[in-house]
Amino acid sequence: MNNQPEQNLVRPVVGRFAPSPTGPLHFGTLLAALGSYLLAKCSGGDWLLRIEDLDPPRVIPGSADAMLTLLEQLGFEWDGAVVYQSHRHARYQQIVEQLGVDGRVFSCSCTRREILASAPHSGEEGPVYPGTCRDGAYGERSERAIRLRVPDENIAYCDRILGLQSQNLEKEVGDFVLHRVDGLFAYQLAVVVDDIDAGITQVVRGADLLSSTPRQIYLYRCLNAVSPEYFHLPLALADNGKKLSKRNGTIGLVHLGNGSNMLWWALEFLGQSPPEELFHSSPEELLRWGRNNFQVATIPAENCQVKL
């Protein structure tokens, strides 16, 4: 394992918020913004903002700007310039090439259907890659993706909210894609390269990304970098028990009119018990209260339904 918390203790805290611009800001995204902001700011750290516009078909034009404007109106202040993943393809390409020189990646020609048919079983993230092209492409076929070879090893780390986590990469995920021939770089690659380049020391995000974390920690190891500390926040669930998301229509959407109430609810959801008299306060006052009173220890580990 490459996680070395003792080194993190001496590194100045740098946190980040990394939304995907796939629609308007909603309560679930606000939780990640608020949690990452307060954790960075309560220890005097920097808080950076990155727009994860990696996957063009999923990007909704204008949503990144709308999100940034709303965050600003709600009193969030980020350090430095906003980073856009769509501007960083050359850097991702360079890292894939470096991993190739180090012998860590291979070229894969399997189709999705073939993987599905030959996978030993399906993991949380879909079929586990069975290793078909690991030792050379299978047959005379064209390359479809570059995959990272993973070890038959448990990658363990201590999440600061959820405690000890562990995953066997080979058995539970398989060699995973870094770059698809159609041009798309994988989220797992981009997030690690961006966080390393920005000097991020703490990653605070929703627990839906928990099972991606061992892949990311392994990538840090391959790139000889120290992985950050991880804080996976509880998810806000809709009535049907599913993660509250853009698919729930206008439920949970944050806008200027309900922004400070939503911040109050977000503080409450994160176990911070904001005083009731602050419910109608300005966003700036709520953020100030959050910065002065934030406690990691009271963030609940359980996902929870919300009625907004």
* Between 35 and 274, CB nearer to ligand GLU: 35
Report, in Å, the least distance between residue 54 CB and ligand GLU: 8
213 part of the interface to ligand GLU, by CB under 6 A: no
Residues in the chain: 308
CA distance 229 to 306: 28
Report, in Å, the least distance between residue 22 CB and ligand GLU: 8
Report, in Å, the least distance between residue 228 CB and ligand GLU: 10
* Between 52 and 229, CB nearer to ligand GLU: 52
Strand, helix or coil at 205?
A: strand
Name residue 85's amino acid: Q
Strand partners, 147: 106, 177
53 part of the interface to ligand GLU, by CB under 6 A: no
In this structure, is the dihedral angle defined by the CA atoms of residues 81, 82, 85 and 86, taken in order, positive or negative?
Answer: negative
* Between 19 and 290, CB nearer to ligand GLU: 19
209 part of the interface to ligand GLU, by CB under 6 A: yes
The binder of ligand GLU chosen from 108, 191, 193, 254 (CB under 6 A):
191
Question: 5 to 44, contacts with ligand GLU by CB under 6 A?
Answer: 18-20
Question: 54 to 113, contacts with ligand GLU by CB under 6 A?
Answer: none
Task: Determine contact, residues 185/178, Cβ cutoff 8 Å.
Answer: yes
Report, in Å, the least distance between residue 30 CB and ligand GLU: 12
The size of the interface with ligand GLU (CB under 6 A), counted in residues, is 7
The binder of ligand GLU chosen from 3, 40, 52, 132 (CB under 6 A):
52
Strand, helix or coil at 267?
A: helix
210 part of the interface to ligand GLU, by CB under 6 A: no
205 part of the interface to ligand GLU, by CB under 6 A: yes
* Between 216 and 281, CB nearer to ligand GLU: 216
Helix axes 187-198, 213-222, angle to 10 degrees: 60
Name residue 286's amino acid: L
In this structure, is the dihedral angle defined by the CA atoms of residues 279, 280, 283 and 286, taken in order, positive or negative?
Answer: negative
Task: Determine contact, residues 27/266, Cβ cutoff 8 Å.
Answer: yes
Neighbours of 176 (CB within 10 A): 21
Residues that bind ligand GLU (CB under 6 A): 18-20, 52, 191, 205, 209
